[in-house]
Every structure is written in structure tokens, then in C-alpha cells.
């Protein structure tokens, strides 16, 4: 009987000792839940960055025109993007630009708010970025061919990302979009020798 009484007293004392720890843990949980709820309330509405793209018959995809939206980037941060009537980042037109930067996500300004990218750092320079996330050097060449007349007299800079562009040049798709691609020259020579004429740019 005494052992049962001692055990009961010890159990009650242990609950009394643990009660402040449980109360503190509960307060921390409530605080974290409130901060999370406030963060979601203040956070701007956004879309996945892939929703900013649209199909393009020649390029595979391109940014949508006349965007003014927030997007969730792959690093889980939210950025603001604005595009012109042709879908290229920023409101400045290609024709009003002195410098044109052609390339992939770096040229697009992915992961940077429009207005804070390289194209807007010096207000004395009229720079236009022409590109989209995932573009390869093949798409850059196609853009230069398509825009050749409008690029005359401008300084054209081509961004190349050595980390992935060389491999992307050989890829016939990027996510849900088909992509123009290059083939190694020996494959092209073999296809030509066999009379196959379906090589893409």
C-alpha cells in the first residue's frame, strides 16, 4: 500500500515538473502557427514560374506577353516579373534599346524582381534582355536570326551558361515543351549519307 502511495505521489510530482515544459512547448507551437499564418496572409499571390511561359512554335516556349505577376521560383522565394508585348522581361521595347542581351534565365532575370535585374541597374543604358528560363544556345541563335533586322546597330551580348547550355543544346525537350536542338556533327553526316533530311536547327 505504501509503495502504491509513493508511486502515485511520484507520478503527480513528475507531472507537476513536466507541466511548465508542456506549457512552454504549447506556447512555442501557437507562436509558430501564428507567424506562419501571418506570413501567408502578407505574402503576395503568386503562380509557379512555369505558368509564366507559353508555347512558341519555333522556340518551343517563351514568356507570356504583358505580364505583371509574382512567381514562385525554384528556391521557394517569390519574385515580381513584368514583360512587354512580345513577352520579354521589362517594359522597355527592343526597338528602344541600345544593348540587347540574348540568353536563358540570366537574360530573363529569373530569380530577380523586374526593375532590379542587370537591365535596370544603370538608367543611362537602355538594355533589353531577350530570353527565357531553360533556353539553350540553339534558341539564342534562332532569336538572333529572327530579330536580325531589329538588332542592326545595337550592341548584342549573348549570355552562355557553361553549366548546362552545352548539354541543353542537344536536348529535344525541356519539361513539357519540345525544344529546337543541335545534333553532333557525326550523326548529321550519317543521316545525310542515308538520305535522312529531318535534322533540326
Helix (H, G, I), strand (E, B) or coil at 59: coil
pTM listed for this prediction: 0.70
Q: Binning pLDDT at 50, 70 and 90, where does residue 199 land?
A: very low
Calculate the dihedral angle through the C-alpha atoms of 32, 33, 39, 45, rounding to the nearest 10 degrees.
150
In a 13 Å sphere around the CA of 27, the CA atoms on its Cβ side amount to 6
Span of 24-33, 127-136, 147-156 with lowest mean pLDDT: 24-33
The alpha carbon dihedral of 176, 165, 119, 152 has a sign of: negative
Q: Binning pLDDT at 50, 70 and 90, where does residue 70 land?
A: very high
> In the chain, what are the domain boundaries?
1-43, 47-193
Instruction: Indicate if the pLDDT at residue 145 is higher than 80.
Output: yes
Q: What is the pLDDT of residue 152?
A: 94
Q: What is the pLDDT of residue 156?
A: 96
Q: What is the pLDDT of residue 193?
A: 57
List, in sequence order, the alpha helices (H) in the chain.
Answer: 2-42, 105-108, 137-146, 148-151, 165-168, 185-193
- Residue 142 has a CB neighbour count (10 Å cut-off) of 19
Which whole number is the average pLDDT over 23-42? Answer: 74
Amino acid at each position: 500500500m505504501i509503495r502504491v502511495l509513493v508511486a502515485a505521489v511520484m507520478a503527480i510530482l513528475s507531472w507537476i515538473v513536466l507541466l511548465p515544459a508542456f506549457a512552454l512547448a504549447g506556447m512555442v507551437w501557437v507562436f509558430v502557427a501564428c507567424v506562419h499564418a501571418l506570413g501567408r496572409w502578407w505574402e503576395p499571390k503568386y503562380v509557379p514560374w512555369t505558368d509564366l511561359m507559353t508555347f512558341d512554335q519555333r522556340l518551343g516556349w517563351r514568356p507570356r506577353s504583358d505580364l505583371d505577376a509574382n512567381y514562385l521560383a525554384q528556391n521557394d522565394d517569390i519574385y515580381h516579373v513584368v514583360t512587354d508585348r512580345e513577352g520579354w522581361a521589362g517594359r522597355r521595347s527592343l526597338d528602344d534599346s541600345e544593348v540587347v542581351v540574348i540568353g536563358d534565365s540570366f537574360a530573363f532575370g529569373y530569380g530577380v524582381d523586374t526593375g532590379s535585374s542587370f537591365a535596370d541597374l544603370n538608367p543611362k543604358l537602355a538594355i533589353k534582355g531577350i530570353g527565357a528560363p531553360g533556353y539553350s544556345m540553339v534558341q539564342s541563335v534562332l532569336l538572333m536570326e529572327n530579330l536580325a533586322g531589329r538588332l542592326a546597330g545595337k550592341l548584342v551580348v549573348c549570355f552562355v551558361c557553361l553549366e548546362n547550355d552545352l548539354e541543353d543544346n542537344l536536348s529535344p525537350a525541356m519539361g513539357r515543351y519540345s525544344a529546337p536542338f543541335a545534333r553532333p556533327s557525326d550523326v548529321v553526316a550519317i543521316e545525310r549519307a542515308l538520305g535522312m533530311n529531318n535534322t533540326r536547327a
